[in-house]
Amino acid sequence: MNKQSQKNANLRWLAIKEQVYKKHSLDFQVIQRDGFICKICGLSCKNDFEIDHLIPKCKGGEDVLENLRMTCRKCNRLKGGK
């Protein structure tokens, strides 16, 4: 591996790390805001939660705090089945 491709590999790795960090810190912010309470049924979902997009990504929903909410897995499945 020459110096240039080594540098590119490092940059790629940095970009991946940044993405992962961003995603995780966003999840963390949702958890902090919603406090492990499912936004659909209102029950605690500490052991079985999912981070749900209000507007699905396939419909242009963004990965921002305002578009995310905490749900339990069950509610998220039911919602997905509609």
Q: Which residues bind Zn ion (CB under 5 A)?
A: 38, 40-41, 72, 75
> Backbone dihedral region of 24: left (phi > 0), alpha (psi from -120 to 50 degrees) or beta?
alpha
Of 23 and 46, nearer to Zn ion (C-beta) is 46
Least Å from the CB of residue 72 to Zn ion: 4
Kindly report the number of other CB atoms within 10 A of residue 27's CB atom. Answer: 16
Which of 16/43 has CB closer to Zn ion? 43
Q: Please, which residue, 22 or 33, has the CB nearer to Zn ion? A: 33
Please give the radius of gyration of the chain, using alpha carbons only, rounded to the nearest integer: 17
